Chain A
Amino acid sequence: MLDTLLSGQLLFAAAVLGALYALIGLGLNLVYGTMRLLNIAHGDFLMLGAYGAFWWFTLTGISPLIALPLIAAGGAGIGLALYALVFRKQLATGLAPAVIEARSLLLFFGVSVVIQNVTALLFSATPRAYRHLDTVYQIGQTAMTGNRIASLLVALAILGGVLVFLNRTLFGLEIKALIQHREAARIVGINVSRVQIVAIALGFGSAAIAGGLLSMTEQVTPFMGFRFTIAAFVVIIMGGLGNILGGIVAGFLLAVIEIYAVTLFSAEARSILIYGAFVAILLISPQGLLGRARR
């Protein structure tokens, strides 16, 4: 058992899963943090990214990894259109964050249903899949499939890039300021709507990229997103709502629980272990792992 627990195989599995969870949580967290929008359609944007990658590869035969910027731009574009048509007015009403949250939850529920069904109408609900980078590489005792290595590297690069952007650039600091204290950010002269637009683009774009990565290893259907919406919410609540670093840490923690706890106990106990840990963390630290009271 100890051999198994210390094996590179489990570490690799946890790293791939954790990086994807963190990436999925990142987008949701940026949108929530800057605008208090609870995007329950987050997984559906991931699904759109997966379809983007599928069609790109099917029609061009070129690696979907090359098309990731295009896929991200598509996700960001749809996010921005939604923002311009629906949410900008909501946010401009000056309503209390709690009201915005409640309304956005319902609005995004509607968006989710529309996206799923339009996708099903356009492409049919038939599961889709393609074969890409499926060579298995053996490094020592650890076997790694090419598409899983690529997913890990791309997700890590985006997570790292976003962290650097948020902490090392003036614009990134403006985003963080808006997340930390909306009114104060406005008072010190931060252009709130510009920051919101960038947060939307990053949030929805990263969801689409996560979908593009997942399409290399999973079947693509119009209804694949819901599972990831749930995972994203678990991740960002565990990490502290709006806390970007906390969400990333929580993404990896969730994967570690999923991989190692299943190894120690049983796969059947997966949900009990994940949600047990989730509840335990919130009991000990009600604002999440790295969260703190927010205004």
Chain B
Amino acid sequence: MLRRQLFGLMAGAAALAGISSPALATDPVRIGYTIARTGLFAAAAPSQEQAYTLWAEQVNAAGGLDVAGEMRPIEFVSYDDESDPAKAAQLYERLITSDNVDLLLAPWGTPHHLNVAGVVERYGFPMVGNTAASVMIREVQPGNIWFPTSAIPDQIGPALAQMLHEAGIQSVAILANVLPYSQENLQFLTPALQAQGIEILMSENYPPDISDMTPLLTQVRAAEPDAVLALTYPADAFLYTGQARELGIAPHLQFLLIGPTIDAFGKAFGPAADGIVTLAHWSPEQEAWPRARPFFDAYVARFDQEPDYLDSALAYMSVEILQQAVAQAGLDHDALRAAIANGTFDTINGEVRFDGVQNAITPTAFVQRQDGRMQLVWPPEIATAPLVTR
């Protein structure tokens, strides 16, 4: 497996360096992006970059990117932004002005998107975002950046409260990481729960570097809530799940904000991860999205791991949107901007259309691990399986 990984890395490096099929003789389309290869977010970024790599390999293998009728190979120009949003902004400026790239893909994470938004706006360079989710994205000047996500906290809170209400949940215990995305969700979730008449038995914040949750979970167990809502990031999602299991915390429903969608989570907990509900709006189980399952299968075959149901899916959606817009409009920025802003795109997550900076079609959704498969359980119109409670 190690050898396969190394070969994979080399193949990935070759793809990044643009050593693609020799049959493609025309000039490559140079596509630039930065990603957090080092620093705070480096562990989260591969799920996004691997989706880019897969896409480029698939497109090149199929004869190249359709640029308004002309097939051209893809060549990536990428930099490590060291998890620093300010550095990402500088590097996007360099990609545009010095590297003269033809197209841009998005960096990883909300702060990076918000910083880069200013650059693409200044140069009038259209870019489809992906892994940014915050109410702040609505304050970005619309025109050159778009966000396919539907995981926005002011929509998540009411949707989650409604799902819990319909599942008969009457009381919850909330544990929230103090990091921004968790707190933004907490801010909208608390009033939404109250509006649904769900009693909040306890609500505790914890720091991201927490090493043991036993004290908090002992309180949760004593409170006997119908559901535990843990507004986690990946590292503490592991801690919560392992220690809640140890303490025998088995409410009707457990919701974790970020973490259960990554491949390692399923590998760490196996069947014990079944029943956990989390945030994601994509699943390969949705047959109404014919592109979903092939993407999942190709990703697993290529990287020997499952895609992240949030970040990998969003990253792939963003390149699908770009690909379809470029096929229609070519590389001219004005034409491309109009094509993205006005088009409807067929993605692994179904149809996507933008209204301003936001995805106007994909609903805020939740998934649940059931027998090792990630099933969409909310909202009913895209659900692939009913929500299972204990």
Contact = CB atoms under 8 A, between A and B. Distances in A.
Interface of A: 4, 7, 9-10, 12-13, 16-17, 55, 58-59, 113, 116-117, 120-131, 134, 136, 143-145, 148, 217-223, 227, 231, 255, 258-260, 262-263, 266-268, 270-271
B218 A219 contact: no
Contact of A267 (B206, B222, B262): B206
Of the four ranges (under 10, 10 to 19, 20 to 34, 35 or more), the interface on chain B belongs to: 35 or more
Contacts of A122: 6, 9
Instruction: Identify the 6 closest CB pairs spanning chains A and B, nearest first.
Output: A129-B268, A13-B214, A267-B206, A221-B43, A129-B264, A263-B215
A126 B302 CA distance: 14
Contact of A125 (B5, B45, B206, B212): B45
Contact of B268 (A130, A223, A259): A130
A268 B38 contact: no
17 contacts: A9-B247, A17-B211, A120-B37, A123-B5, A125-B42, A126-B47, A127-B262, A129-B268, A130-B268, A134-B269, A218-B238, A219-B264, A259-B214, A263-B218, A267-B204, A268-B204, A268-B206
Contacts of B39: 223
Contacts of A271: 207, 209
B272 interface: yes
Interface string B4-23: 01100100000000000000
A124 B9 contact: yes
B207 A270 contact: yes
Given A258-B212, A268-B207, A130 B42 contact: no
A260 B212 CA distance: 11
A238 B207 CA distance: 22
Contacts of A255: 212
A219 B46 contact: no
B78 interface: no
A267 B207 contact: yes
B234 A219 contact: yes
B235 interface: yes
A10 B214 contact: yes
Interface in B234-263: 234-235, 238-239, 242, 245-248, 262-263
Contacts, number: 138
A268 B264 contact: no
Given A125-B37, A125-B46, A219-B264, A145 B242 contact: yes
Contacts of B213: 267
B224 to A, nearest CB: 14
Given A58-B1, A116-B38, A134-B272, A10 B215 contact: yes
Interface string B96-124: 00000000000000000000000000000
Contacts of B37: 117, 120, 125
Contact of A117 (B38, B46, B206): B38
Contacts of B301: none
A195 to B, nearest CB: 33
A59 B304 CA distance: 14
A148 B6 CA distance: 32
A268 B222 contact: no
B60 to A, nearest CB: 21
Contacts of A13: 212, 214-215
B284 to A, nearest CB: 19
Interface string B202-238: 0011110111111110110010000000000011001
Contacts of A268: 178, 204-207
B267 interface: yes
Contacts of B212: 13, 16-17, 255, 258-259
B142 to A, nearest CB: 33
Contact of A127 (B234, B245, B246): B234
Given A59-B1, A148-B246, A271-B207, A128 B42 contact: no
Contacts of A144: 246
A218 B239 contact: yes
Contacts of A223: 39-40, 42-43
A267 B214 contact: no
Contacts of B2: 55, 59
B267 A130 contact: yes
B16 to A, nearest CB: 12
Contacts of A134: 242, 245, 269-270, 272
B305 interface: yes
Contact of A126 (B206, B211, B219, B305): B305
A229 B267 CA distance: 26
B270 to A, nearest CB: 5
B265 interface: yes
Contacts of A222: 42-43
Contact of A145 (B46, B50, B205, B246): B246
A260 B222 CA distance: 17
A217 B211 CA distance: 11
